[in-house]
Each structure stands twice: as C-alpha cells, then as structure tokens.
C-alpha cells in the first residue's frame, strides 16, 4: 500500500511551517506519522502537502516548572513513559506497541483525536491545557474544550499544538486501565483514575473515560459517589456502577454498545482498586 | 524551506548498516520499499499497516516499523537491519539464540522479531519473561506461538551478558 501522490515540505523553522500551513488549507503537519500515514494509505485523507515538523527539537521536551509539567507537542510516547509523569506515563505505556511508541507523539495523537485513543482519558482527568500557536497568535485551551468532537480538535488553519500542560498529581494515587481485544489495539474501554485520600476518606477523585463517547469524558456520577466518603468495597461497587451513566458507546468491531457499557463498570472498578494498591 | 511537489523526486541519504546510500525518491515512497530496493530484503512487508512488525528496523537507535515511515522523513538516518548484525561471518548472539532455540518456523517474522529483540535488549539487558512478551507485542508470529521466541530472547540476554560473548549492542 502506497500513500497517494503528495507534496512534501521541509521547513527550516517552525515559523515557516506555520506560514505554509496557513497558506495551504489542505496541507497537514507530519509529526510521528503513526495516525497520518495509515490514514493516507487508506485514502481517508488526501492532503496536498505534508509539512515535516518532526525534527523541531524545540517542541520535544518534558519540563517541570513548579507544580506544572510542560510537555512539548513532539515528545514521543516513549519519552513520556521515561519522564515518569503521574498517570500520563502509565497511560502512555498502553499505547499501540513499542515501535509505535518510539515514533508517535502526544501532539500528533491529540491533534488526530481518535475517540478510542488512550491519552484523552488521562488528560481530561488531569485538567490538561493545550497550548496552540499560529504565526501571529497563541492561545491556551482546556483539553476538555480542545476536544470538540471525534477527530475534531479545536485547531484553525495555520495553528499547531505546541505544548501540553498538566498539574502535578504526585500526591494522588492513580491508574489507567485499558481493555483491548489484542495487544497493540485501540481501547474497547479505557479508564483513568486519580484518587486523593485523607486516611480512607476520598478528598478528591477524578475519573476519565475514553472510547465510550465521541470524546473522553469525566465520569461525574462516579466521582460524586466517592467524594468525601469513606472508602469501602460497597462504595467502590456503587461508584463503578454509576460510571456507566457517563458512557454512551456505539457498537463496532470491538464490541456491542451493551458490552462496552458493562465493561466501563468493570474497568472503573479495576482502575480504582489498582490505584489503591499504589 | 524546501518544497517537493508531488511528481518531483528528492535526493535522500540513508546510512544502512554503516554503508551510505544516496537515492532519489518521491515523497510518498515508504522506507520499507526503499530499503528492499537497496537490497536489504530482510526487511519484510507483512501487513503494511503497522500491525505485524515484520518491517521493524532500528532507525537512529530506536526500533520503528518501516512501513509507516516515509523515506524522505528518514533522510540522514542511520538504519540497522538484520544484514548488519553478523560480523565477519559470525552470527550475532541474538541470531545464534534464535537458531539454537528453534525460535522460528517459516521465518517471515524473524528479521523484524530479531531487530525488536535487539532494541529490547539494548533498553533492558536482563528482561523478565513478561517484559520480553510486552517488548515484542508489536511483532506477530503465526507459527511458533511465541514460546521459543521468548526463550531465545531470554537466552540471548544471557549470552550478551556473559564475558565470552563480546557485547556487540
């Protein structure tokens, strides 16, 4: 399988890349290419040009400033795993397979915004912010608003995701649990949990669900059930059951809607129990 | 800024197993095709959809699936394939371990499997069985059931960690 005939642009600076993208509405930036190249092969998209941005080292970093992690958009999943960021690194270990994680980038993943991708569960639970730049402007959006709909990030022509910002959750217990058909596949259901305990009372809880809606969502019902209460098996069971309120999956080759919904409960429970082991 | 139109070719340089190659490619050419045409036919095209891992090579020190990398993207890269592993007619310890443990039947997945094992052992010289299985989760084998592959990689790690096998990684 070949990609279709396509032009290729090698910009010298990020500025040039953004300028070209601004002037060519149907051009696409190429980062790790692990969503883009398969999509080209399948003729799902037919851009005029690919604009190579992968080599821009200035967008490849993980920094911790005060209480905030700053992650360059071109940081690979491999490098994110190595950075030991609470919850996000664990989530990255479940993406694709090792070769995919060596090439794929976080900026590319969230700009593609597959509804079954893993990162969104963690990003929505962590209240991540997305830095978006064009040649003339810069804006910061909550990931929640950035992810408008499946495959539809809040990006205008000429804009690129340049950075992801996350608060540090190292005083939380956390876990990302992914149900998959086979190694390396997208999630059937993915659940990210962050738990802050005071003794055994839940002081804060954040639960992100991926693959069961058009975009990742917080399981608000489950969070409400847990918040401020003393943890018990019964409470965890109740909260896990309520996590299904936030899931509205569709039937596809990975399972029926009914099955996926039930699995949200199972995976939420697993994620909570796993987080507690930490 | 360099703009290559869709019908134009562009000259790229690849260093494969230490040997420098200059080739002209269309932007849409995949790295796997270019490598095979250069004679590195150990690099197999299996699924062509970045699932099976038969096209795995080491690019700039990291294992990648060369069916999902454009050749033009790889311009200037250092690439290692199975052909570059043996030295002076002597097989690499990973190759020997695959041989001795019967880690292949049809052999189609083997070059990709060996390159992924190479990268895995560079990252983690003494992996557990679980780490090996996770490490080769991007490589599919339809013959062996993976048992002997896992055994071979464990064996290779022991060979590489021993003194009588000069560490080549």
DSSP-assigned states of every residue in B117-134: HHHHHHH-SS--HHHHHH
Question: Are A3 and B28 inside 8 Å of each other by CB?
Answer: yes
What is the 3-class SS of B45-56, one letter each residue? CCCCCCCCCCCE
Which pLDDT value is given to residue A224? 98
Which of A111, A136, A167 finishes a domain?
A167
* Residue of A34, A48, A98 with shortest CB distance to B63: A98
Q: What is the pTM of this model?
A: 0.95
Task: Name the domain count of chain A.
Answer: 3
Domain coverage including residue B56:
10-83
A1 lies in some domain: no
* Range 51-110 of A in CB contact (< 8 A) with B: 52, 54, 78, 96-100, 102-103
Do B98 and B78 belong to one domain?
no
Q: Are strands A189-198 and A173-179 parallel, antiparallel or unpaired?
A: antiparallel
Residues contacting B55, CB < 8 A, separation 6+: B32, B43, B44, B45, B46, B65, B66, B67, B112
Please state the rounded mean pLDDT for residues A233-262: 97
Which pLDDT value is given to residue B42? 98
Q: Residue B145 belongs to a domain with what CATH number? A: 1.10.150.120
- Given a contact cutoff of 8 angstroms between Cβ atoms, the answer to whether A111 and A176 are in contact is no
Do A120 and A99 belong to one domain?
yes
pLDDT class for A278, splitting at 50, 70, 90? confident
* Range 159-198 of A in CB contact (< 8 A) with B: 183-184
Do B65 and B110 belong to one domain?
no
What is the 3-class SS of A163-178, one letter each residue? EEEEECCCCCEEEEEE
**Would you tell me how many other CB atoms lie within 10 Å of the CB of residue B141?**
23
Chain A nearest-CA distance from B167, in A, is 23
Question: Are A8 and B72 inside 8 Å of each other by CB?
Answer: yes
| Residues B4, B75: Cα–Cα separation, whole Å | 14
- Given a contact cutoff of 8 angstroms between Cβ atoms, the answer to whether B55 and B44 are in contact is yes
| Intervals of chain B under pLDDT 50 | 166-169
Question: Are B69 and A33 inside 8 Å of each other by CB?
Answer: yes
pLDDT for residue A10 is more than 80: yes
Q: Which residues of A touch B4 (CB under 8 A)?
A: 7-10
| Residues A17, A20: Cα–Cα separation, whole Å | 5
- For CA atoms B70, B8, B1, B38, the dihedral sign is positive
pLDDT in tens, A114-154: 999 999 999 999 999 999 999 999 999 999 999 999 999 99
pLDDT in tens, A31-89: 999 999 999 999 999 999 999 999 999 999 999 999 999 999 999 999 999 999 999 99
Task: Name the domain count of chain B.
Answer: 2
Which of B36, B52, B83 finishes a domain?
B83
A2 lies in some domain: no
Domain coverage including residue A22:
7-52
The three-state secondary structure class of A151 is coil
Q: Residue A130 belongs to a domain with what CATH number? A: 3.30.465.10
Rg (CA), chain B: 16
B168 lies in some domain: no
Question: Are B73 and A16 inside 8 Å of each other by CB?
Answer: no
Do B59 and B98 belong to one domain?
no
Which pLDDT value is given to residue B163? 54
Question: Are A8 and B62 inside 8 Å of each other by CB?
Answer: no
Question: Are B28 and A20 inside 8 Å of each other by CB?
Answer: no
B88 lies in some domain: no
Which pLDDT value is given to residue A239? 98
Q: Is the ipTM of this complex over 0.90?
A: yes
Question: Are A38 and B68 inside 8 Å of each other by CB?
Answer: yes
A234 touches chain B (CB under 8 A): no
Do A151 and A179 belong to one domain?
no
What DSSP character marks residue A105? B
Do A62 and A39 belong to one domain?
no
- Given a contact cutoff of 8 angstroms between Cβ atoms, the answer to whether A118 and A103 are in contact is no
Do B103 and B54 belong to one domain?
no
Chain A nearest-CA distance from B164, in A, is 30
| Residues A101, B150: Cα–Cα separation, whole Å | 21
């Amino acid at each position: 399988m070949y990609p279709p005939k396509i032009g290729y642009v090698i910009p010298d600076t990020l500025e040039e890349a953004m300028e070209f993208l601004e002037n060519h509405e149907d051009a696409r930036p190429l980062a790790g290419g692990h969503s883009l190249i398969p999509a080209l092969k399948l003729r799902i998209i037919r851009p005029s040009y690919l604009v190579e941005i992968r080599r821009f080292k200035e967008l490849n970093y993980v920094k911790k400033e005060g209480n905030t992690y700053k992650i360059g958009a071109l940081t690979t999943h491999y490098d994110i795993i190595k950075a030991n960021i609470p919850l996000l690194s664990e989530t990255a270990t479940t993406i694709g397979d090792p070769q995919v994680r060596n090439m794929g980038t976080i900026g590319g993943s969230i700009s593609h915004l597959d509804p079954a991708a893993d990162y969104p569960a963690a990003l929505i639970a962590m209240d991540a912010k997305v830095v978006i730049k064009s040649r003339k402007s810069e804006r910061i959006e909550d990931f929640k608003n950035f992810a408008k709909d499946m495959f539809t990030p809040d990006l205008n022509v000429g804009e690129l995701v340049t950075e992801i910002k996350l608060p540090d959750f190292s005083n939380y217990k956390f876990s990302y649990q992914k149900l998959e058909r086979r190694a390396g596949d997208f999630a059937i259901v993915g659940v990210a949990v962050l738990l802050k305990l005071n003794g055994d009372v839940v002081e804060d809880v954040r639960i992100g669900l991926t693959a069961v809606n058009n975009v990742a969502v917080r399981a608000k019902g489950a969070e409400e059930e847990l918040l401020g209460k003393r943890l018990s098996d019964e409470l965890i069971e109740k909260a896990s059951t309520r996590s299904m309120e936030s899931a509205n999956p569709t039937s596809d080759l990975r399972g029926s809607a009914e099955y996926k919904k039930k699995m949200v409960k199972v995976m939420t429970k697993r994620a909570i129990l796993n987080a507690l082991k930490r | 800024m360099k703009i290559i139109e869709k019908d134009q070719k562009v000259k790229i340089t690849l260093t494969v197993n230490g040997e420098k190659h200059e080739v002209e490619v269309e932007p849409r050419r995949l790295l796997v095709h270019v490598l095979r045409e250069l004679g590195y036919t150990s690099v197999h095209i299996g699924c062509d959809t970045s699932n099976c891992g038969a096209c795995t090579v080491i690019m700039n020190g990291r294992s990648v699936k060369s069916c999902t990398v454009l050749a033009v993207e790889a311009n200037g890269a250092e690439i290692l394939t199975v052909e570059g592993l043996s030295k002076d007619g002597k097989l690499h310890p990973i190759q020997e371990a695959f041989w001795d443990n019967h880690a292949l039947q049809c052999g189609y997945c083997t070059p990709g499997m060996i390159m992924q094992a190479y990268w895995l052992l560079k990252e983690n010289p003494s992996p557990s069985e679980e780490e090996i299985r996770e490490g080769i989760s991007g490589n599919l084998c339809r013959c062996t059931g993976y048992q002997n592959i896992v055994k071979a990689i464990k064996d290779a790690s022991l060979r590489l960690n021993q003194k009588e096998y000069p560490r080549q990684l």
